[in-house]
Amino acid sequence: MRVLSATDVRAALPMPRAVAAMRQAFAALAAGRADVPERVHLNLPVHDGVSLMMSSFVHLAEGDALATKTISLFANNAERGLARIQAVVIALEPDTGRPLAVLEGAALTALRTGAASGVGTDLLARGDCRTVAVFGAGVQARTQLEAVCAVRDVRAVRVVDPLPDRVEAFVRDVAGQPGFPADVRPAADAREALADADIVNLATTANTPPFADADLRPGTHVNAIGSYQPHVQEVPPETVARALVVVDSRKTALAETGDLIQPIEQGLITPDHIHAELGELVLGRKRGRENAEQITLFKSVGVAVQDAAAAHAALARAEELGLGTEAPW
């Protein structure tokens, strides 16, 4: 069995490869070529955390993939010098169930979640998008921006986060690096960040929206990945109500994200307001943006097929490159 560290995962799954894997994953999901049980939420309020268990089997162009992931999000981990997200992915042989690999799951999750925003941006954002507003300056914000830069010619990035140190670190780590533009700067506030933004990336832990709907320019595309619980809202309900909304999974999004649940409860939208699943756009079953002035929103809560497809792609490349450590089983 192969064991892949976070470094191994990133080397085996560069962003263009991750974006391609997500296209396949969402296409398979929309085509009914995947078995995805509901994920299990294990809430741990005594430790201010939650653990999620996600499994899937999916038919991909390069073969079948079977994987399971446990991912935990603990708000107080920083106080212990640990990352908020801890995760492990186990890749299994699809026809026998034999364990093939253990992959560091936080890196894989960041890559596959970011790559989903890349697919959403490619299918929904205007072709001439050049400026990105980034809300949230954590690990996930980096891969989300990297994916957007992989599908659009991004020239400028403006970053907003409640913690100035995180913004400084984000700018230092990203500006001018391969795959990113040189012009990456802090914004004084949300309004300044949105003033010239063509694309808005949201990867925050905020319980309420960090920007006002009125500050969005016509034609803006929004990628929102932070809200995965009913009480958490990252996108203003007015934005949701006037946007062309595409989700990764209708069933999961309507069950989990406050970005949709709360506007529905307020009577601003109905479940039918969801225009499409991302896989329907990949397959050409639904059209995306209708005009240059339209607000578009890709709302992702994460689906297990992403983990299976990403693990499958990473493992295949790791074997080619000799990455990881072989462990007896």
Instruction: Determine the 3-state secondary structure of 97 from DSSP.
Output: coil
* Mean per-residue pLDDT, 2-24: 98
How does residue 159 score in pLDDT terms, banded at 50, 70 and 90? very high
CATH superfamily of 2-109+305-326: ornithine cyclodeaminase, domain 1 (3.30.1780.10)
pLDDT digits (tens, 9 = 90+) for 169-223: 999 999 999 999 999 999 999 999 999 999 999 999 889 999 999 999 999 999 9
CATH superfamily of 124-303: NAD(P)-binding Rossmann-like Domain (3.40.50.720)
Most confident option among 73-77, 224-228, 235-239: 235-239
How does residue 228 score in pLDDT terms, banded at 50, 70 and 90? confident
* Mean per-residue pLDDT, 232-247: 97
Single out the residue of 77, 90, 147, 128 nearest to residue 300, CA to CA. 147
User: What is the radius of gyration, based on Cα positions, of the chain?
Assistant: 19
Helices 139-151 and 164-174: angle between axes, nearest 10 degrees: 40
pLDDT at residue 329 greater than cutoff 90? no
pLDDT digits (tens, 9 = 90+) for 111-130: 999 999 999 999 999 999 99
Contacts of 62 (CB under 8 A, 6+ apart): 312, 313, 316
pLDDT at residue 278 greater than cutoff 90? yes
Q: Mean pLDDT over all residues of the chain?
A: 96
How does residue 60 score in pLDDT terms, banded at 50, 70 and 90? very high
Count of CA atoms in the C-beta half-sphere (13 A) of 95: 2
How does residue 46 score in pLDDT terms, banded at 50, 70 and 90? confident
Count of CA atoms in the C-beta half-sphere (13 A) of 63: 11
Note the pLDDT of residue 69: 97
* Mean per-residue pLDDT, 83-91: 94
Among left, alpha and beta (phi > 0; psi -120 to 50; other), residue 219 is: left
Which of 79-83, 116-120, 133-137 is predicted least confidently? 79-83
How does residue 38 score in pLDDT terms, banded at 50, 70 and 90? confident
pLDDT at residue 78 greater than cutoff 90? no
**Could you say which DSSP state residue 269 is in?**
-
User: Domain limits of the chain?
Assistant: 2-109+305-326, 124-303
pLDDT at residue 229 greater than cutoff 90? no
Instruction: Determine the 3-state secondary structure of 213 from DSSP.
Output: helix
How does residue 62 score in pLDDT terms, banded at 50, 70 and 90? confident
Work out whether strand 274-277 and strand 244-247 pair parallel, antiparallel, or are unpaired.
parallel
How does residue 227 score in pLDDT terms, banded at 50, 70 and 90? confident
pLDDT digits (tens, 9 = 90+) for 100-110: 999 999 999 99
- b/e map 153-191, b = 16+ CB within 10 Å: ebebbbbbbeeeeebeebbeebeeeeebbeebebbeebe
Single out the residue of 257, 279, 242, 253 nearest to residue 116, CA to CA. 279
